[in-house]
A = this chain, B = another copy of it.
């Protein structure tokens, strides 16, 4: 029933080119915020903002080590959300499923 809203927080998170770029960086392994910053023209608070959006959507996770925070991709989240979504729109053979 609230499936649409649930998937939307994920899709909103990945519907930004800069956030996708962050995700692509993290797909190779965890990185600290400052390391991520080096790949962008944006200022650090903007990066932190994007990381916050990704984290709220469970797309990334983080751990603290000393003064640094290392972010990593939650690959399971990405694939489960995508495959869930795909399935929801798979061709039905006759019987409907979702209600109004």
A86 to chain B, nearest CB (A): 4
Point out residues on A near B: beta carbons under 8 Å.
4-5, 7-8, 11-12, 14-17, 20-21, 23-25, 27-28, 39, 73, 75, 78-79, 82-83, 85-86, 88-92, 96, 98, 100
Whether B85 pairs with A83 at a CB distance below 8 angstroms is no
Tell me which of B17, B83, B98 contacts A24 (CB under 8 A).
B98
Number of copies: 2
Given known contacts A8-B15, A28-B96, what 4 new A-B pairs fall within 8 Å (CB)? A5-B17, A11-B14, A14-B85, A73-B89
Whether A15 pairs with B17 at a CB distance below 8 angstroms is no
Least CB separation from A79: chain B residue: B86
